[in-house]
Structure 1
């Protein structure tokens, strides 16, 4: 079966190609916190994958349109890097995924529905950090396999992997080794022990290529990735709710919260849909820049 790897790979290549921005942008976390004397500017950060960078760009542009001074520090890294950056003042605002952040902050969290996850996340946030209104839009972690693998082993759910996991290699980002929403949860909740785990990227071209080329037989991809449909991949149903609701939510340093910031970002969250994420990710895959895609979306929704 022929697979269309290039569709998704282009989106992740943009991490390098989209360095030019309409905003003043420093290397992520390059400047020490002690050097900050400007208390008005909001520094918007992001994780190290395109959708997060796109959402951060949307936040930044929406705030700029309201006259707020903004700086961006995109492509910082994983949650294990950017949450400490938020806590130490290196960044002030970032787009987050409610369930994953909840689990990161509270290892014993069991909430699954959007409302329960939002409540649990709010309770788990450290002092000095606030969350604004979550969006209905979600982008969840998933375990995906090729159509051929699904048919060979009759796989429809993650639980179906139990009899064959020992024969398969699992691929995912390095942090999956230690995350509940990763190897730990797959073992504890589903009883899965894979032949081995291959550290790749965050649902990017390495993961996709490894999956479609057979270097791994199951992999972590994001549910809004247009490569899933383009490559006829099968997302296995999470019947035991390993992955909690992953609504997009702005997380912000409490001192930077104001009426205008809240109203602006709440309007973004209210307009954003899961379908929007899939469409915009598809445009990134076709080499449109973060700035252009974000600007077009904001214009469409009259938010800039």
Structure 2
């Protein structure tokens, strides 16, 4: 996954657990439950990593530009934490990823290709929720190792890693239990885990654990500039443990008015995987810009 990104030589880690400067420091399930916003207001949420916060700001700013009143509940936590808020109406809109969301609502769905995942997701969601048009932008979970580990062990695929019986794996706590996390890797590849280290959501703890050899392999996002900056190796996934993960707006149906739908679909039409990588790089610049600033600059640059 070599991508030429200017200025990444100095990047040591993508701080994926930090929220954007405008995010509310919400971190537990109690923040995702409560009274639904009024009919004319949309509460926009995000998960607890900068790409999610950035996408939420893109949604929020674009809606505000069209006169929609927006509340923000950013940096909430993992899907297991924020999804109940979508169901009870205390969160109306959140940027999501098709494959992992499908696994969350229907682990037995089995779809892996982009269109099949999106179609299955539309059918699997509860009646109060819907997804709007998916974008071409994709950010997948990936099993990542250092170049030295890949060379030493002859690793190209996750199946190669499964030949070892001494694997120390690092990732967010929820990855140990999610269907496409360790359980999926064990089922599809027979991966043997000597130890699992709960770290962060692809953030500095995970990157440092790989760099120092504290873990053999780790879960990182494919749009994380730290992969190229550190010459990490993304192991191929021939059994498609990780389904397609296109960015998509997940929204309460009652708030998906024609105006709101038009705004969000226009955003999805402009988002690409390369865009995500570039925006993540900007978020990790030395001056650590506010997510809302990066979001505004992108919206302006694409005429939104």
Q: How does 1:41-52 map to 2 (within 5 A)?
A: 41-52=41-52
Structure with the higher fraction of residues in helix conformation: 1
Give the secondary-structure state (helix, strand or coil) at the position aligned to 1:250.
Answer: strand
Distance 2:56 2:95 in 1: 6
How well do the aligned residues superpose, as a CA RMSD in angstroms? 1.8
Give the secondary-structure state (helix, strand or coil) at the position aligned to 2:47.
Answer: coil
Distance 1:101 1:31 in 2: 17
Larger deviation: 226-235 or 6-15?
6-15
Contact 2:31/2:76 (<8 A) preserved: no
Q: How does 1:165-244 map to 2 (within 5 A)?
A: 166-244=165-243
Contact 1:102/1:109 (<8 A) preserved: yes
Distance 2:16 2:52 in 1: 11
Structure 2 residue 294 is the aligned partner of structure 1 residue 293: yes
TM-score relative to the length of structure 2: 0.92
TM-score relative to the length of structure 1: 0.92
Give the secondary-structure state (helix, strand or coil) at the position aligned to 1:7.
Answer: coil
Give the match for residue 16 of structure 2. Answer: 12
Query: How many angstroms does 1:20 deviate by?
Result: 3.5
Contact 1:46/1:94 (<8 A) preserved: yes
Contact 1:93/1:253 (<8 A) preserved: yes
Q: Deviations over 1:25-55 (max 9, x none)?
A: 5846548523x56221100001111100000
Contact 1:53/1:75 (<8 A) preserved: yes
Would you say how many aligned residue pairs link Structure 1 and Structure 2? Answer: 293
Give the match for residue 40 of structure 1. Answer: 40
C-alpha distance 32-94 of structure 1, shift in aligned 2 (>3 A): closer
C-alpha distance 46-31 of structure 1, shift in aligned 2 (>3 A): closer
Give the match for residue 53 of structure 2. Answer: 53
Q: Which runs of 5+ in 1 are unaligned?
A: none
Q: Deviations over 1:52-86 (max 9, x none)?
A: 00000000011011110001100111111111110
